[in-house]
Amino acid sequence: MHEAYDATALTPMRVARLSGYIDWASQPSVFKHYPEFLFRYPFGTNPALRRAELSRMVTFEGVVGSKPYLRLNTPSAGNLHPVELYVQIRGVKGVLSGIYHVDAGANAMVLIREIERDGLEPALGMQKRFEGMLFVVSVVPFRSEWKYGDRALRYCYMDAGHQVGAVCASAAVGGHTATILSGFDADCLNRTMGFGGQEFAAAAVAIGQETERDAEAMKGGLMEVAPTDYCDTKGTIALQIAEEPPFASRSDITMPVVDETSIIKRRSARLFSPEPLETAQFEHFMHCLMQPPKPLESFAVVLQSKSLNKGVYKEGELLKEGDFADRAAALLVDQRFVKDGAVIMVFTAETFGSGELISAGLFAQRLYLEAAAMDAGFTGIGAFYDKKLQTFLGTQQAIVYVGVLGVERT
């Protein structure tokens, strides 16, 4: 996907083309729903399912500009949510063993198929039955492509990374360890899940343990249900995603130990107060930025601080000093609210692909949750002038994620 970086980079001309009139009435549905005749556990009715519910849920319902607005505990570029979540549950007391769709839009765990000796294990490269929960994160490109065109390729994987991070965080709340699965055949998993040509498996996460009993492949895939109410793709995003391997983490996944409250109140800050963070908060996040997960590197544009000079830092080292608030806002497509933030975080990578984007989203989900736990504000920024931002930072590496941290104004 190296050429995809240039093809999806923003320039002033491309931003102008993308900023035209949007007919929100034509927006594709943002939630997939399986048939009503399927058995389901409504959220909150079975404590054994809390881990799965915390992985993907609606946390706020409102109206913005006469349009219904739903906030999830996972952020999404443009609130388009091109992600779905599934979980195989086996050997969990009080829960029917089977493959479920985590339907956040309907607040329910929907049983797609019961399992016994068979299951998703062979499609995930596992020979033994897995006791616990096996999560599958998929992407639905058209939901994002509808608004963002080719750049949606980035947002699909960034959002998938946020979803992986949310699963890992829900495990940490219960004192469990989440493991990223890799090395399996994505095409096989897509067929098994009944995804068709509009939805694609991007990552898999395991919480539990393998048993000594052999696992059998399912006879026939799951029922195929369209992930949107219509699809009118104009580009090649689906083809590119179909060729990408599933996510394979290159470093240990560490998520903050937060409580349920922090997971539920996670939100993207939209206004910041023009004041520095408390020193302990600021130093905590700067320390996090010095240890990004591989293969990422990190920059910090410090706008306000009680303990550091304003300027550009790379993993703790000051590269150039100065007040760059106006310059940074201009580079982020003139999003002026970022000027009141405390620090702009930029993640880069030597190579550009789905793995780097998912890793960045996963790491950003950690920052979101820690900000919520520490009463700070954080937001991801999807729009930035890629090449100009590279020049400003003095790097040839690809820009894969930008976020802003500060004191949120409510």
Domains of the chain: 20-260 (3.40.109.10), 267-408 (3.40.109.10)
CA torsion sign, 327 to 331 to 333 to 337?
negative
| pLDDT at residue 1, as a whole number | 60
| pLDDT at residue 294, as a whole number | 87
- Does 266 score more than 70 pLDDT? yes
State whether residue 45 is helix, strand or coil: coil
What is d(CA 61, CA 133) in angstroms, rounded to the nearest whole number? Answer: 28
Q: pLDDT band at 13, cuts 50/70/90?
A: confident
Q: pLDDT band at 408, cuts 50/70/90?
A: very high
At 68-117, the pLDDT tens digits run 788 999 999 999 999 999 999 999 999 999 999 999 999 999 999 999 99
| pLDDT at residue 17, as a whole number | 77
Average pLDDT over residues 1-17: 85
Q: pLDDT band at 250, cuts 50/70/90?
A: low
Percent of the chain with pLDDT over 90: 83
Average pLDDT, the chain: 93
State whether residue 188 is helix, strand or coil: helix
Eight-class DSSP state of 313: E
- Does 211 score more than 80 pLDDT? yes
Residues 6 or more apart in contact with residue 3 via CB below 8 angstroms:
none
At 332-370, the pLDDT tens digits run 999 999 999 999 999 999 999 999 999 999 999 999 999
Q: In whole angstroms, how far apart are CA 177 and each of 62, 164, 174?
A: 34, 13, 9
